[in-house]
Structure 1
């Protein structure tokens, strides 16, 4: 079997992509023409089903091909890490379950699967704990704010396109893999994945099952990495990803596609954090907190998602292209227990979200020079959160290892989020070398917050300390926004372009962490509160501009973009109780983003990408460096790759640079090196990898953020010191037949 070529990232997307809502990317896969009909310099994206040359791009966009994703994943590179390796604007990732703080251009990232958003009103950062790379065909990326994608896209958009039956080279694909640092018998991860596909003239289908079992993770010193007590770990974790889709060719212009996914990533660990007798180590910085056996907890950390969608397309609907998508997403996210010493309680939350939506896009070309994209989207979201409460005395007597459940309370107010949007986008070619695009989106969001008794008061009722407590009043708050974007593209030649664009984005900060707070007397009577009527949560609007240059030739692809974004408000976290507030301080983020891929010969290539970024907030009229809790550090990566008929190798390095904020708090930079190699066999292929080749000792970016974010709750910062995984070896056998 021929070994997959080590490919470079293509800068190929339709210019309308930067201004469309999430459906525009999602339907790129469902409504696309067969890849066999495309030229190598083309790719089919967006709802209009047109193959676009790289010279038509009017924004910072890129496509990460499936071969690139597979090469990294089969070589043992973590999913969040491989994204950071390949996407210049994306921060380096954690090695725990969370992607909290992994921003694009210093702002929030909208993550989608086939155009269906994984973001929610409750900003739980587990969007990358949602799919196994085995099921990914490609990833489409937009860097920077997008006017047409709705909330959560202030930093950019990552749309994960899943594999379809029509994309399969054969009828079956198999992955068998293992990964270890050889530190102990617990240091092993293994994977088995299998898909079956079919493809004929009128129907195609694919069914895939992937299972991954992960043991312990060990740092460069051979010690087990501490479980993430804040956002949870993926050590001693099993991941099941079941995905199926079927497509029907209804006529020469009409297609219907159905997709369903079930994803379950859950922890079952006998190892837990040793907090010391009566949790003393938390408040004693002289103690180094580590792992210990004997962990007993029935409901450990878990991410469970189900996703279904129906996509219908008609390439000749009243002379236009029509795309309609209906979808439903359901998720349940479990956390592990953590003590609250202010109320002497011990609880772990379970947070559930249900989202149902529809998206309609119409594309027309009234003239050869003018194209229009317009439509509507709507979705309805329900969020609820409960909290399992445990006997803190039992846990305290066992160094925080044994948990006996005593009941259940609420964690956050119930939130209902209704959103409706309409949009219009136009692209006009003034002359052959110059085109302009502009768009407008109106979005209305209504947040409905339930009445809620504060969580600590519910615990007092549960344990009999009080008989009842008042509820913080709920209510409704509406947000109506009109967002604009415009862009200008100049083709210096077929291979080289310049562009400028302006775009706006809007988001509502996490309402669950804002509302439902109150002050109570000793009898449970409410004396003051944060509620919808008296303290409505404000939204945040971001304006962004960028100026870019791109070159695409046979042997070289290069892109350089300067960007600037400013928001009118700042979302501020209260470290004492982990709630959010919105303050009237501007935040500006600007920088330089670049990428280069160069083929020295047909077999040898090298490349680099980087993001130099400056993040500042205005305080008392002065611009000051943003705090390390939220500022994105600059980063750069580089690689050297060699490809022969049956062998391939790639040496890659990632550098996160140090960052210091205005209060002299510092993020320490670090560098890692990976070696990825592969060999084609008579049947199938073997991929070998060594991640963290030099066995570098470092704290992950999330670890360093967490030490600041939770500083008011955790005096001993070693409790949130999550070191990076040490040198790790992997092997993967794959075959298609």
Structure 2
């Protein structure tokens, strides 16, 4: 991307001003198994507190939007209801809500859309491969803490409105009503909250309605109900926590994406067309029940135990798979998943300089993914607008995953300056499925099962050079279970899991990092490399080709924070990654596609806070140009991506007994296509969704 002269001036002046500063606050990492001070942990971490979240959510549509702006190494968000392509350092991230994994053995990529913003208290993002919490964290961990009760009674009610300013009206105004109630009685603390959001349509910089995303779906014209509850019993040596989360999204839209744009040259803007008749639209239902106990056994040993159950369901937009032999139907997939798990962690201080975290993880997940089939004739006669159900069929068989894992993580402090961290994790996985019939070819597949395992390690050395500087070097391994459903759903009659190409993805990461303060400027930087002999199972040509590529990724990240004085604060970050892969039996590597490796990203925010509590922020996010084509040829995820830059402005102002929040998203009304849209998820222009134009958000939170 050629950055405009105005942006060059802004970034240059901000960077120049950052050479005078004051020391920033030391932060504590709270997540289980990663507890530490931020300046002593041997990896790059982004901590987002509640005050920051409140300001950022004012100019963002969901959690993925916020994280993409704040976290170096995280890919730009998609306009769809998915985090497909929203990678972290070129790989997938494991999302946890209060320690409960949000991934499923069918990787449907909706992990960042399972909780409402008003329920989030704090987010900690650990970048780089990580196996401490189990499968799925080859790119890092996103640990979400929900709100907790406090000793003092409190209640807040918030009413919010978000409207397009390029086509202002009822169909472009979304509303949210949220309430939080917390307090204590005796040794018990409680927190209850709920929110209801009614999304309308979204509009681009030209004032045109953004078409619904026909591949993964989106949030337009949807109702989102989110409820949370948490009870905490505290005593002198421990704590008991019982929590529940319910998040439900249901779409009810009259619009579809006009298929006529697919005959136009790349990249032509997708168009919304009215008249959709579809009873079952995009849905998400996420129910999590969670129990945690923390107990000091004695002065040297602490116990943390967790038991959770998750009931999850999701439905997608119908897909016309009739041209493909592996589908041969006009069908709509949906997922039902139930997971029960337990975690046990013991923290033992064996001496004044040696501490161990060790324990067990257990989980069992059952997943079903059928399809709802629709009448192709009615669909064709209506030009893709009318869907008449004809029944349900198998698509992916019922899958069962059972995991057993043991781990040990040690931290040895040689002296105040040198610290060694090392750990091992061994995971045993059993996967199985029952007899079923494939959707396209109607092939009878006999059920089978397969046991496999992974052993991974981490090793890191941290040197506290002085009070202002620390260095670390780390070698971390991560692993990820491949999506069995991608291969099973197109299997031949002789298919057997034990003979399939479904070994876990095991990554070997090397990282060199530095954190320091120079004249009050707080800087964090890292060089990283990630390699794996097997990539994830990639489905191409609707399942006609499945491959496991050898992958190697390298990159650089840097962030800086600076306080000019008590009122002005600056944050800067830059991230770069490059990746290449080698197909099975190939001789040479080739660049990885854009759904894995994001373009370079530059982000800056300037905040102002006065003594009366008024807080305002100007945020700039720039995504650079990147050509993902090989020999100039367009393909899935391989396009010449044009960069773009977004400017957001938000303010919090104390008013009466509450806080008024005003925000302008896309302040300069940039006319652009997000990365996801330019790469064309469906391979057609009907997924070329433009970004949202200028939007106004107004919110008032009343403190009872």
TM-score, normalising length: structure 2: 0.90
Corresponding residue for residue 4 of structure 1: none
- Alpha-carbon distance change, 207 to 497 in structure 1, aligned in 2, over 3 angstroms: same
**1:627 and 2:602 are equivalent in the alignment:** no
Q: How does 1:39-54 map to 2 (within 5 A)?
A: 41-43=26-28, 45-47=30-32, 52-54=36-38
- Alpha-carbon distance change, 719 to 40 in structure 1, aligned in 2, over 3 angstroms: closer
Q: How does 1:239-638 map to 2 (within 5 A)?
A: 239-249=224-234, 251-275=235-259, 282=262, 290-316=271-297, 319-342=300-323, 345-457=329-441, 469-518=442-491, 530-551=495-516, 555-571=520-536, 573-578=538-543, 581-583=546-548, 585-618=549-582, 620-638=586-604
Structure 1, unmatched stretches of 5+, are 1-38, 458-468, 520-525, 712-716
Which deviates the most, 222-231 or 56-65? 56-65
Q: Distance in 1 between matches of 2:540 and 2:690?
A: 22
SS at 1:513 equivalent = helix
Contact 2:581 2:591 survives alignment (8 Å)? yes
Which deviates the most, 672-681 or 532-541? 532-541
Q: Distance in 1 between matches of 2:506 and 2:89?
A: 16
SS at 1:492 equivalent = strand
Structure 2, unmatched stretches of 5+, are 1-23, 633-638
1:165 to 149, 156, 161: 149
The structural deviation recorded for 1:586 is 2.2
**1:217 and 2:202 are equivalent in the alignment:** yes
- Alpha-carbon distance change, 439 to 296 in structure 1, aligned in 2, over 3 angstroms: same
Q: Distance in 1 between matches of 2:623 and 2:152?
A: 38
- Alpha-carbon distance change, 534 to 54 in structure 1, aligned in 2, over 3 angstroms: closer
Which deviates the most, 372-381 or 140-149? 140-149
The structural deviation recorded for 1:636 is 1.3
Q: Distance in 1 between matches of 2:132 and 2:655?
A: 46
Q: How does 1:121-132 map to 2 (within 5 A)?
A: 121-132=105-116
1:651 to 596, 614, 618: 618
Which string of whole-angstrom CA distances, capped at 9 and with x for unpartnered residues, describes residues 342-362 of structure 1? 266311111111110000000
Q: Distance in 1 between matches of 2:108 and 2:319?
A: 17
Q: Distance in 2 between matches of 1:392 and 1:190?
A: 36
**1:94 and 2:78 are equivalent in the alignment:** yes
2:659 to 685, 692, 697: 685
Corresponding residue for residue 649 of structure 2: 675
Corresponding residue for residue 522 of structure 1: none
Contact 2:661 2:700 survives alignment (8 Å)? yes
Contact 1:58 1:488 survives alignment (8 Å)? yes
- Alpha-carbon distance change, 181 to 48 in structure 1, aligned in 2, over 3 angstroms: closer
Which deviates the most, 638-647 or 121-130? 638-647
Q: Distance in 2 between matches of 1:350 and 1:78?
A: 22
Contact 1:204 1:246 survives alignment (8 Å)? yes
Which string of whole-angstrom CA distances, capped at 9 and with x for unpartnered residues, describes residues 108-128 of structure 1? 110010011001111111111
Corresponding residue for residue 466 of structure 1: none
Q: Distance in 2 between matches of 1:218 and 1:253?
A: 54
Q: Distance in 1 between matches of 2:257 and 2:31?
A: 47
Q: Distance in 2 between matches of 1:368 and 1:479?
A: 39
Q: Distance in 2 between matches of 1:628 and 1:572?
A: 17
Q: Distance in 1 between matches of 2:73 and 2:38?
A: 20
Which string of whole-angstrom CA distances, capped at 9 and with x for unpartnered residues, describes residues 399-428 of structure 1? 211111111111212210010000111111
SS at 2:138 equivalent = coil
The structural deviation recorded for 1:638 is 0.7
The structural deviation recorded for 1:63 is 1.4
The structural deviation recorded for 1:451 is 2.3
Q: Distance in 1 between matches of 2:76 and 2:608?
A: 25
Q: Distance in 2 between matches of 1:48 and 1:660?
A: 40
1:174 to 157, 175, 183: 157
Which deviates the most, 471-480 or 403-412? 471-480
CA RMSD of superposed structures (Å): 2.2
- Alpha-carbon distance change, 178 to 414 in structure 1, aligned in 2, over 3 angstroms: same
Q: How does 1:7-22 map to 2 (within 5 A)?
A: none
Which string of whole-angstrom CA distances, capped at 9 and with x for unpartnered residues, describes residues 489-523 of structure 1? 1001123211111111111210001113246xxxx
Contact 1:510 1:580 survives alignment (8 Å)? no
Which string of whole-angstrom CA distances, capped at 9 and with x for unpartnered residues, describes residues 421-446 of structure 1? 00111111111111111111111111
Q: Distance in 2 between matches of 1:668 and 1:149?
A: 37
Q: How does 1:221-232 map to 2 (within 5 A)?
A: 221-232=206-217
Corresponding residue for residue 18 of structure 1: none
The structural deviation recorded for 1:733 is 0.6
Corresponding residue for residue 8 of structure 2: none
The structural deviation recorded for 1:475 is 1.0
1:63 to 47, 56, 75: 47
Q: Distance in 2 between matches of 1:289 and 1:44?
A: 43
1:85 to 66, 69, 73: 69
Q: How does 1:26-41 map to 2 (within 5 A)?
A: 41=26
Which string of whole-angstrom CA distances, capped at 9 and with x for unpartnered residues, describes residues 506-554 of structure 1? 11210001113246xxxxxx5xx54324434222211001010002589
- The size of the alignment, in residue pairs, is 665
- Alpha-carbon distance change, 116 to 421 in structure 1, aligned in 2, over 3 angstroms: same
